[in-house]
Structure 1
Amino acid sequence: MYKYLFLLGSSLAVAQPAMAEDGEITVTATGLAQPVEHTGQAVTVITRDEIERVQGADVTRVIQRLPGTTFTRTGPMGSLTLLGVRGAPAGQTLVLIDGVRANDPANANAEFDLSQLNTATIDSIELLRGPNSVVWGSQAMGGVMNIVTRIENGYSASVEYGGDDRVTASAAAGMTNEKLEAALSAGFVDAGGYSSAASGTEKDGYRQYNLAGRARYHVTETLSLTANARYTHGKVDLDGYPPPNYTFADADVTEKLRAWSGRVGALYDVGILKLNAGFSISDTERVGDDPSYPYSIDGRSERAELFGRVALPGQLALDFGGDYEWSRFSNAPDAGKAHNGSVHALLGYYGDRLIVTAGMRYDDHSDFGGEWTFGANGAYEIAPGWRLRAAYGEGFKAPTLYQLLSQYGNPDLLPERSKGYEVGVSHGERGDPVYLSLTAYRRDSKNLIDFFSCWSGTAPLCATRPSGFYYNVGKGRAQGIEAEVGLQWAPGLSSQFAYSYTDTENRTPGDVYRGADFARRPAHMVSASLDWESTMGLALGFDVRVVGDAFDDRANATKLDSYALGDIRASYRVNDMIELFGRVENVWDQDYAIAAGYGTQGRAAYFGVRLRK
């Protein structure tokens, strides 16, 4: 029956989180906007001010400031870029853009490719680290990232030029008043690039257009209508495996990307009751022009969902909701579709010093059946400004459409499952004069999906899947420590520091690689920044990113050496409208690799101007 309730709710339909709450706000904890201190889970929010200080269109320059995050990129900007959280693979991290699930259902592991993003259209990035499938269902095993696009009250524009003949431009315009908040933002990148193959000499270029819009209209004091949309169109040059050697080298290969999503909805808020309902669509298409391996991949999902919160006596509140999703994919010669419905509820106590929340979720998938998920978290103010946090969360990831329905599919696959535990202590919020956070966590996973090759082994399913098939076999553990420190040393002088220790292990019984580290998961990562701003409009900044050793493959046979990257930034506000800025990336011209065999950027300088009113 809940299926029809969601379809009815979609006529109201939802958009993005509430826009008018003070302090640091999270939506990833419960699905509705609430203060970060109302959850015991680890949440970090990066705002537009910090994004502009970092400079550049590449969103990884911002995300790498978050603890517990890793990313891999197979070539220059515009190449496949994947995010990992707390040692989890990219397919186990859910990415939302203005509340729309952006993970691509056509990919074998349903990841989201960060290369689709441009900081020009982003207002904030919120990352919840740890399982939260009670609220978000499938894919929220490692974490949940919510990206909110810009609402500009006025207009702004910028242009920059620099290394690899990269031209970057952005523009944003909008208005906010008591009745209407609406804005458009856009970004453009055109880069000559560098060789995708580390051994190559041919430059691989990149061009992409990004457009985002978001609006909210207050019909009454209690009812708001909302809408948002985004569009990405790009083309990137890649390398391949040309004859006669068929090894990774320079090749005439390109990939075209077209991705769009949209959502319409309404928010009803009368204080003791808040309802947020919506209908969204997300579609991603890739076409590869590879003479040896041409491909065309298209994934689409449509979703109706409802989030609600009701205030109860005794400082209690009930968060609830449900959704229904239709998804399909095409990856020639394969195609398929599935649907899934769910309901969830969380009961929370929100006292003056103690916060405790617990809840559960039920999913009903058209192919693998039903799945229950449980989670709980709490926080206690042990002293003014100091919070002790703890959380337990179960995560699950449904088998992807490709894993279920392709020529390598296995209809008997079970969802991947995880149990996560964490405890932490924090003081203040990010951006405060003093901000401290320390978290220890462990996540155990089972039923991890792997590929069985019928060329190197035999199994009954090889009779109908002669090249191989996906199957449940894996177990794994990821555990570690995350630390964040933010300090305001003096007026205009501040620093930030983040350290992550991540220990991963393949714990699959009988696996030849049992005991090995997960691929491309460095144990140690440090990011730090120092910023100074004068009263005369001059600002200087320095960033450093240190990444420890890692292995490129599951056998731990290929090592990725540690590296340290430094950036220098500067900006000068000429007047209220004009700002000059520039930076030097990789100031030490470090030769490094984040994926074996793929090229990375050397030292590069960029200069630009920004206008705003």
Structure 2
Amino acid sequence: MKYLFLLGCSLAVVAPAWAADGDEEITVLATGLSQPVDSTGQAISVVDAEELASIQGPDITRVLERLPGVTLTRNGGLGSFTGVRIRGADAEQTLVLIDGARVADTSSPGSGFDFGTLLSGNVEKLELLRGSNSVIWGSDVIGGVIAVTTKASEGVEASAEYGAYDSFTGSASGGVKTGALSLSVSGGYARSDGFSALAADAEADGFEQWQAGGRAALDIASGLSAFVDARYARSEAGIDFSFANDYVQTTKQASGRAGLRYASEALDLTAAYSLADTNRAYDSASFGYAYDSRNQQAELRGKWKLAGPVAVLFGAGHVWDRYEGTFDTRQTARQANGYLLADFTSGSANFAAGARIDHHSRFGDAWTMGANGSVGIGGDWRLRASYGEGFKAPTLYQLFGFAGNLGLEPERSQSYEAGIEKGDRSSPLHFAATVFRRDSRNLIVYDANANAGWGGYLNQSRTRASGFELEADVRPVEVLQLRAAYSYVKATNRTTGRDLYRRPRHALSLSGDWTTPLGGLVIGADTRFASESVDDPFGDTNPANDVRLKGHVVLTLRASLPVTDQIEVFGRVENVGDADYQAVAGYNTPGRSAYAGLRARF
């Protein structure tokens, strides 16, 4: 109840109305093509470059925690494995895109993405879709989709900061636009001595990363353009396993996407090829092993505007996955897909419905369907609702790795939601309330008792996640921005009736930024509340081994001051109250820590 009380206080603070309209937010997550956020019935949040910069620091999870429905698990400090859960789904049940390329690590058991390897320094935009939407995006979209867009700068930007744990972070980007050509490059470096990831160990586990990227676009003819995006990151992180300490994990990630776009009054088309390669190596004084994975995709997406308010959205693609490891021979899978949606848009009303088929070389066909709608009811308010189905193909590791099972079927989900919303997160006044439910079946779990005691992967779990989300963003006066997001998520195993591990039922995020009269000084604060949850450090699902993770409150204070029109100094103190808590049983979290830095734009 104390979390609901805090939410009520926060909403009372942000209650003043504001009549002006903000800039329109654009997303690609609803249909795979650009469209305004308020023209879809799906729950989508967008974080722009200005908000990203105001939060400060390399840790992108501090940005994601501001959004409703999001909880995190991290095995230690900066650079440690970090999983993002949307509405109580597994971290591996979220599709992650970087500049449009799917970046799942197909060699990991769950084929998820490690957010510990993604720093915020050269990120320009974040989009979050909550709910199943495999009709558009195919496999992995049970919890939702996170799309990351890197910077496409004009001019030069650079920043650097130093702080606790002997941490340094620097990033820079630069770009030009001349005639039909736009070109930008970016790069960054981060390091930290860190602290011991495992609570039972004393030796600090550090982190270091180099990363670089580039984006280019060329207008070829009227309505026709070409694009190329690329990213590379090399990370080294000290990690502690519950059974062995002092490993160094080296992760090399390369991803890119290239293609053509065409736009006319009647037809929009995007044809693209993308590639993502992840190599993970683990080394200790006595032992080492490695995995390598690759995902390739060729895709075509389009929108044909038939007549008046009616349009057809369509797409087709082919996906190639592969993985191999020190103790695993190379294995591959292919997947062909196609989808079709009917879209009706008239004034402030929008409705879309469609279906998709995926043919997987290992298990056969998977059909998914979805529908959503949004209707304006005046005063920038709208009602929205959606139904979506999701599926996740068995990973190559689950099929062929240790205790693999070639008879696995895809995980499946059905997602329902309804809500009311005013404006969007860029508006001077934004409010959203959403209720949701997601039922999942055929979930793949590792059963230690299968295969005569050798263990194995089986389709044997059913779950349900239900709850509601409240979100408010307001700028009552030009110099003050307030945000609040609250989520109640009840995620349970429908076979046992028990709560799923590492899923706090209550999560509340509060933030505010005040521009003072003192030379443009901005003072900000971010507070994150998470209620207690349950974890199992042994991973054996035995209730006798359950550990109760206590609820916690983490406060960050920030400030920034422009020195000139081009240069700004900033600083922050994270975990001001020095809260002692764990997000994963047996693993430490950062204590009170301070940082200061400089940002320049030319």
2:142 is paired with a residue whose SS is coil
Shift of 1:29: 0.7
Contact 2:420–2:433 (CA<8 Å) still a contact in 1? yes
Q: CA deviation at 1:358?
A: 0.1
* 1:489 matches 2:484: no
Cα offset for 1:73? Answer: 0.7
Separation in 1, partners of 2:211, 2:515: 31
> Runs of at least 4 residues of structure 1 off by over 4 A?
none
Alignment of 1:572-583 (within 5 A): 572-583=561-572
CA contact (8 A) 2:555 2:574 kept: yes
Task: State the AA in 1 paired with 2:583.
Answer: I
- How far residue 254 of structure 1 moved from its aligned partner, in angstroms, is 0.7
Give the match's secondary structure for 2:50: helix
Query: Is the 2:24–2:426 Cα contact (8 Å) retained in structure 1?
Result: no
CA distance in 1, matches of 2:542, 2:88: 16
Q: Helix, strand or coil for the counterpart of 1:210? A: strand
- The question of 1:196 aligning with 2:197 is answered yes
Measured against aligned partners, the alpha-carbon deviations of 1:306-365 in whole angstroms (never above 9, x if no partner) come to: 110110113011110011011100133223111000000111101112110001000000
Q: CA deviation at 1:182?
A: 1.8
Equivalents in 2 of 1:25, 1:431: separation in Å?
10
Kindly indicate whether the alpha-carbon contact (under 8 Å) linking 1:118 and 1:210 is maintained by their aligned counterparts in 2: no
Q: Please tell me whether residue 524 in structure 1 is matched to residue 506 in structure 2.
A: yes
Aligned partner of 2:217: which letter?
Answer: R
Equivalence map 1:233-244=2 (5 Å): 233-240=234-241
Give 1:326's aligned residue.
Answer: 320
Find the aligned partners of 2:511 and 2:402 in 1 and give their Cα distance. 48
Counterpart mapping for 1:62-141 below 5 A: 62-141=63-142
Tell me the residue number matched to 1:5: none
Segments of 5+ residues of structure 1 without an aligned counterpart are: 1-21, 242-246, 509-513
Q: For 1:439, which of 434, 440, 444 is the aligned residue?
A: 434
- Contact 1:86–1:478 (CA under 8 A) maintained in structure 2: yes
Match of 2:307 among 313, 335, 356: 313
CA distance in 1, matches of 2:553, 2:118: 25
Matched, 1:361 2:356: yes
How many Å separate the matches in 1 of 2:341 and 2:501? 35
Identify the residue that residue 571 of structure 1 maps to in structure 2.
560
Letter in structure 2 aligned against 1:586: N
Q: Distance in 2 between matches of 1:369 and 1:471?
A: 17
Given that residues 447 and 472 in structure 1 are in contact (C-alpha distance below 8 angstroms), is that contact kept between their aligned partners in structure 2?
Answer: yes
Aligned to 1:179: 180
* Structure 2 counterpart of 1:350: 345
Query: Which amino acid letter does the alignment assign opposite residue 526 of structure 1?
Result: L
Q: How far is 1:177 from its partner?
A: 4.7
2-structure distance, mates of 1:58, 1:154: 25
What amino acid sits opposite 2:120 in the alignment?
T
User: Which string of whole-angstrom CA distances, capped at 9 and with x for unpartnered residues, describes residues 473-496 of structure 1?
Assistant: 111100111111001121211100
Instruction: Tell me the number of residue pairs that the alignment of Structure 1 and Structure 2 aligns.
Output: 572
Deviation readout 1:7-60 (Å, 9 max, x if unpaired): xxxxxxxxxxxxxxx720110110011111111000000011011100001111
1:382 positional shift: 1.4
Structure 2 partner of 1:55: 56
Looking at structure 2, the residues matched to 391 and 240 of structure 1 have their Cα atoms a distance apart, in angstroms, of 41
Matched, 1:549 2:532: yes
Shift of 1:210: 1.5
Q: Which residue of 2 aligns with 1:255?
A: 249
8 A contact 2:376–2:382 mirrored in 1? yes
Deviations 1:362-388 (A, max 9, x none): 000000001110000001111220010
Contact 1:516–1:555 (8 Å) recurs in 2: no
Aligned residue in 1 for 2:487:
500
Aligned to 2:258: 264
What's the CA shift for 1:71?
1.2
Opposite residue 410 of structure 1, the aligned amino acid is N
CA distance in 2, matches of 1:122, 1:227: 17
Give the secondary-structure state (helix, strand or coil) at the position aligned to 2:240.
strand
In 2: Cα distance, 1:240 partner to 1:216 partner:
44
Report the residue type matching 2:472 in the other structure.
V
**Segment of structure 1 superposing worse, 27-36 or 403-412:** 403-412
Distance 1:240 1:141 in 2: 28
Aligned partner letter, 1:608 = G
- The CA distance in 1 between the partners of 2:586 and 2:309, in whole Å, is 56
Counterpart CA distance in 1 for 2:89 and 2:178 is 42
Q: 2:290 aligns with which of 288, 291, 296?
A: 296
Structure 1 position 431, deviation (Å): 2.2
Residue identity opposite 2:588 in structure 1:
G
Alpha-carbon separation, structure 1, partners of 2:300 and 2:542: 44
- Following superposition, the deviation at residue 271 of structure 1 comes to 2.1
Aligned residue number for residue 151 of structure 1: 152
Question: How many Å apart are 1:450 and its aligned residue?
Answer: 1.1
| Offset of residue 152 of structure 1 | 1.1
CA contact (8 A) 1:141 1:396 kept: yes
Residue in structure 2 matched with residue 471 of structure 1 by the alignment: 458
Tell me if structure 2 keeps the 8 A contact 1:81–1:114: yes
SS in 2 for 1:120: coil
Cα distance, 1:197 vs structure 2: 1.0
User: With structure 1 as the length reference, what TM-score do the two structures score?
Assistant: 0.91
What is the rounded CA distance, in whole Å, between the counterparts of 1:29 and 1:182 in structure 2?
Answer: 27
Partner of 2:384 in structure 1? 389
Aligned to 1:533: 515
Tell me the residue number matched to 2:593: 604
Cα gap change, 1:173 to 1:279, in 2 (>3 Å): same
**Structure 2 CA distance, aligned partners of 1:532 and 1:560?**
34
Q: CA RMSD in A?
A: 1.3
Q: Who is 1:287 aligned against?
A: 281
Note the C-alpha offset of 1:469.
Answer: 1.6
AA aligned to 1:402 is Y
Deviation at 1:555, TM superposition (A): 4.7
Q: Following TM superposition, by how much is the alpha carbon of 1:176 offset from its aligned partner in structure 2, in angstroms? A: 2.9
Match of 1:15 in 2: none
- What amino acid is the match of 1:404? L
2:409 match: 414
Deviation of 1:184 after TM superposition, in Å, equals 1.1
Give the Cα–Cα distance (whole angstroms) in 2 for the partners of residues 406 and 352 of structure 1.
Answer: 52
Distance 1:405 1:107 in 2: 12
Letter in 2 for 1:314: G
Letter in 1 for 2:410: P
How many Å apart are 1:433 and its aligned residue?
1.2
Q: Secondary structure at the match of 2:38?
A: helix
- Distance in structure 2 (CA, Å) of the matches to 1:44 and 1:533: 24
Deviation at 1:292, TM superposition (A): 5.8
Structure 2 distance, partners of 1:240, 1:384, is 54
What SS class does the counterpart of residue 37 from structure 1 fall into? helix
Give the drift of 1:230. Answer: 0.2
Partner Cα distance (1:132, 1:555) in 2: 33
Decide whether the 8 Å contact of 1:198 with 1:600 is kept in 2: no
Work out whether 1:584 is the aligned partner of 2:573: yes
Amino acid at match of 2:550: D
Equivalent residue of 2:594, what SS?
A: strand
| CA shift in 2, pair 1:558/1:148, >3 Å | same
Aligned-pair CA distance for 1:178 = 4.7
Segments of structure 2 that go 5 or more residues without pairing to the other structure are 1-22
Structure 2 CA distance, aligned partners of 1:140 and 1:210? Answer: 27
Deviations 1:186-239 (A, max 9, x none): 121111100111132211111001112111111112110100000000111122
